Amino acid sequence: MRFGARLSKAISEHGPLCVGIDPHPGLLASWGLSQDAAGLERFALTCVEAFGGRVAVVKPQSAFFEAHGSRGVAVLERVIADLRDSGTLVLVDAKRGDIGSTMAAYAAAYLTEGSPLAGDAVTVSPYLGFGSLDPALEAAAASGRGLFVLALTSNPEGASVQRAVGPGGRSVAQSVVDAAARANAGAEPFGDVGLVVGATLDELDVDLSDLRGPILAPGFGAQGATVADLRALFGSDLRGVLPTSSRDVLRHGPEAASLRSAVDAIRASLEM
């Protein structure tokens, strides 16, 4: 089953929610854990226990694991394996982007069957040109995995690039949307190429009507975005939108039961 179909099934079973595993130092401290690979592992495996089999997608943030060196990457590999064993879709938030053989190597790491870093999808950056993602698109197609491509992010610095207008009169972000739509042409219910669009944006300024792919919407919850904000940006039908909540859930740790309760409350709010 291709990624888009697996994602549609997961949303129908668990609702449209992506929960992040972001083990940054402040959260490790608030959980009473050591600032080392052992504390990282305790944090991450508690999240796996809490979220596995309960949400549509779990999104480990690769940078916080990489910060602990090879032992941290080993923890990430275990998180990916354990979540997939639980039947939960894993989106590795690595935001990789490069050209040629380097992009092909990233694709092999995150999108190739048998790689310990390969979840079900990975975030990628198109800002070396959407065509630079071809090795990732090809690897995803071959292994039945997915991509979430940065399109419109909510950080203030992003606008100078993403909202810039190209020679054809389209914004850079719209050109990314259009390229993703071409990759998803004819797919039902979702294609395998999703977009990252910040939930805290004041306005959308892009046409998503032909996308046929999922939208990852970070910024929901602790960063300020509400269900009303999601509907204002994306319309009343949010079946293809995956709001992402990390800190709003993780602040309820370190008990797995408390994390589960937080997930249940957020999921209920999305059904309003």
pLDDT at 89 exceeding the cut of 70 = yes
pLDDT at 75 exceeding the cut of 90 = yes
Mean pLDDT for the stretch of residues 135-154: 97
Out of 14, 24, 95, 170, the active site residue is 95
pLDDT of residue 258: 98
pLDDT of residue 221: 75
- Tokens 């053989």 belong to 101
If you compute the radius of gyration of the chain from its CA atoms, what whole number of angstroms results? 18
User: Which tokens sit at 168?
Assistant: 């054809």
Q: How confident is the model at residue 238 (pLDDT cuts 50, 70, 90)?
A: confident
Q: How many residues does the chain have?
A: 272
List, in order, residues 6 or more apart from 183 with CB less than 8 Å away. 137, 191, 192, 193, 213
The string of pLDDT tens digits covering residues 15-26 is: 999 999 999 999
pLDDT at 64 exceeding the cut of 70 = yes
User: Which tokens sit at 107?
Assistant: 């694709």
pLDDT of residue 242: 96
Strands 215-218 and 57-60, bridge-based pairing = unpaired
Mean pLDDT for the stretch of residues 140-144: 97
Active site annotation includes 95: yes
**Per mean pLDDT, which range of 128-132, 169-173, 228-232 is the poorest?**
228-232
Element (H or E) spanning 93, and its range? strand 89-96
List, in order, residues 6 or more apart from 197 with CB less than 8 Å away. 151, 152, 153, 204, 206, 208, 215, 216, 217, 233, 234
pLDDT at 272 exceeding the cut of 60 = no
The string of pLDDT tens digits covering residues 110-130 is: 999 999 999 999 999 999 999
Cβ-contact 93, 166 below 8 angstroms = no
Q: Rounded to two decimals, what is the model's pTM?
A: 0.96
